């Protein structure tokens, strides 16, 4: 089972393939959302290879949650990011904590 957005905070960069596997989406969606949302801003080398920071992964997770889980349109997600960033960040931190608790409980269940 893939946990959405789980990443190693000690890693500096992730490839687009790694990010796509974290969320179970195509790399084309990642490239598309990168163009649509300013908060996803991967570094690129001279060849154009994208390198996503842990912050980029968290931002992608936030957008993923708004669009895929909550059902916002892209425009609605953009407005939420623009108009309510503090509340959205607090809510997102809660969701991340709940995801960690869920993962722990599932691992505990498997161990029993």
Q: Which of 59, 52, 53 is nearest to 89 (CA)?
A: 59
pLDDT average, residue stretch 101-106: 93
The band of 6, judged by pLDDT with boundaries at 50, 70 and 90, is low
Mean predicted confidence (pLDDT) in 66-91: 90
Residues ≥6 apart with Cβ < 8 Å to 64: 4, 5, 23, 25
72 in Cβ contact with 80 (< 8 Å): yes
DSSP classification of residue 67:
I
* Beta-carbon count within 10 A of 93 CB: 12
pLDDT beyond 80 at 2: no
Pull the structure tokens for residue 54.
Answer: 């842990």
pLDDT tens per residue, range 8-53: 557 799 999 999 999 999 999 999 999 999 999 999 999 999 999 9
Residue 1: the pLDDT is 35
| Region 16-111: CATH code | 1.10.1660.10
Task: Report, as an integer, the average pLDDT of 62-74.
Answer: 93
What pLDDT band is residue 4 in, cutting at 50, 70 and 90? low
- Helix, coil or strand: residue 52: strand
- 3-state helix/strand/coil string of 10-37: CCCCECHHHHHHHHCCCHHHHHHHHHHC
């Amino acid at each position: 089972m893939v946990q959405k957005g789980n990443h190693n905070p000690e890693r500096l960069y992730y490839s687009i393939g790694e990010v796509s596997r974290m969320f179970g989406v195509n790399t084309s969606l990642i490239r598309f959302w990168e163009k649509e949302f300013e908060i996803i801003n991967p570094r690129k080398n001279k060849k154009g290879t994208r390198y996503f920071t842990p912050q980029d992964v968290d931002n992608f997770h936030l957008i993923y949650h708004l669009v895929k889980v909550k059902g916002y349109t892209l425009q609605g997600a953009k407005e939420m990011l623009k108009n309510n960033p503090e509340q959205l960040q607090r809510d997102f931190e809660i969701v991340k904590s709940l995801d960690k608790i869920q993962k722990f409980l599932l691992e505990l269940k498997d161990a029993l």
